Structure 1
Amino acid sequence: MTRPGPHGGVPDLPAGLAARPRDARRGLPIPPVNVHDGPHGPYVDFTTLNITASADLAAARRCSLCGEPMGYWVAFLGGPRAAELLRYTDPPGHPECMTAALRLCPHIALARHRRARPDRPGSGMMPPGSHGEKPERYVLGITRSYRTRFIPEHGFSVFLPAPFKAVHEYEYGLDGRLNTSPRTR
């Protein structure tokens, strides 16, 4: 995992992510899907997706991580089962932003990094139907198009990519860190 520099800078960020506001504690860019409305104004929760922002960004074909318009290719990041089913609870983003998330997000980058316990404040909420277990590896799928389907009985959207044109698989090494050199198929 890349650590922030002395002034909160993170090397090798795509321009859209580099322009995002930063988390004061870690210096990491704050994705628009992690900004929530609260009784005292907006707050950041990295453990929970703002489902309204997620759906709005996807509908406008904007990256869930940097908020900028997506071009021809879009990427989805998740476990092997999500890739197999072509069904994601996390919205799409630029391939470059999703690749950066592999090194920046501690939950993804470190095998033993776990989500906060559900009884802790700020622990986030798992979408209905999610099992909450971390995948043994991550799959980054790149495609041209996708559909969004709102699931009214659960109050959130799922994202349904078209078949992937490229697939990159990332596995954890013996040191417990995600190997950022993918196996491509």
Structure 2
Amino acid sequence: MAQPPVPIRCAGRPTLGSLVIPWITLHAGGRYLFGALDKDRRDRALAERRCQVCGQSFDERICLAVRPADVYAGYTAEPGMHPECLAYSVRACPMLSGDATRYRATPASSGLPGVAEEGHGPRAGRPADAFDAWWITPSSYCVKTDPEHPGQLLGIDLDVPVLRKRPIRPAAGLDLDSLFALARQALGLEDTASSCPYQPDGSPQPHNTAKESD
């Protein structure tokens, strides 16, 4: 299968197998781990308004990859993307493209010492969620924090004006949590109280020694 063209914004990013390595991808054990997030970079992307793919600041539009469960929670835990970086991810990421039908049963970082794996459990081995693309403006960009731990970033607030919504992929199978969230959304009962750095499907992780300093 032909690889999608790399956005100009990502021209300086390291690649693996002709695929751009997103800025928030974890680098551990001498290799990049597609499907695992670097928590520090994820938090920096949220706080500094950086794109999770290219790592650059946003312009006039910010795109979010949103699941029904995110709508129910009131925020998406993953950072936003430039429109062109989202378009690239929709073709390059198995989860967003629809090629992956389930989340990984074990974390991409499984077995690596000193690597946090929290947050993987709820999705582990479950059918892939539906994803929609939301376009928002920088003025609508707001990061939510944990009320009990103010220094902990939850993600991008979804209770904001949305310029446009477009489906990215349907759910891969029956998911009661997602169906419940969709029902609440249809009834207007959302609780206003999260894209993918590729390879979330459990396939073998490619080894590499690429490094970066940014």
Q: CA deviation at 1:52?
A: 1.3
Q: Matched residues in 1 for 2:122 and 2:76: separation?
A: 10
The whole-number CA distance in structure 1 between the counterparts of 2:133 and 2:12 is: 23
- What is the distance in 2 between the residues matched to 1:43 and 1:3? 24
Q: For residues 79-135 of structure 1, what are the alpha-carbon distances to aligned partners after superposition, in whole Å with 9 as ceiling and x for unaligned?
A: 233245541111111122112111101233214354252494469835278444444
Is the CA contact (8 Å cut-off) linking 2:96 and 2:169 kept in structure 1?
A: no
Is the aligned partner of 1:20 residue 2:9? no
Q: Letter of the aligned partner of 1:90 in structure 2?
A: E
Q: 1:71 aligns with which of 59, 67, 78?
A: 59
CA shift, 1:22, in A, is 0.3
C-alpha distance 81-173 of structure 1, shift in aligned 2 (>3 A):
closer
Aligned-residue offset at 1:31: 0.8
Equivalent in the alignment of 2:69: 81
C-alpha RMSD over aligned residues = 3.3
Partners of 2:31 and 2:63 in 1: CA distance: 26
Measured in 1, the distance between the counterparts of 2:121 and 2:142 equals 19
Residue among 132, 135, 143 paired with 1:139: 132
Count, aligned residues: 162
Q: 1:60 aligns with which of 44, 48, 61?
A: 48
Which structure's CA Rg is the greater one? 2
Distance 1:126 1:107, change over 3 A: farther
Residues in 1 aligned to 2:127 and 2:82: alpha-carbon distance in whole angstroms? 23
With over 3 angstroms needed to count, the CA separation of the structure-2 counterparts of 1:137 and 1:35, relative to structure 1, is same
1:163 corresponding residue in structure 2: 161
TM-score normalised to the size of structure 2? 0.62
CA pair 111-35 structure 1, distance change in 2 beyond 3 A: closer
Q: Residue 125 in 1 paired to residue 114 in 2? A: no
Change (3 A) 1:48 1:35: closer
One-letter amino acid of the counterpart of residue 69, structure 1? S
Contact kept? 1:146, 1:159, Cα under 8 Å: yes
Does the 8 Å CA contact 1:45/1:124 hold for their aligned counterparts? no
* Unaligned stretches of 5+ residues in structure 2: 173-214
- From 20, 39, 49, the equivalent of 1:29 is 20
Which protein, 1 or 2, shows the higher relative CO under an 8 Å CA cutoff with sep ≥ 6?
A: 2
Instruction: Answer whether contact 2:75 2:155 (CA < 8 A) is retained.
Output: yes
Per the alignment, residue 78 of structure 2 pairs with 90
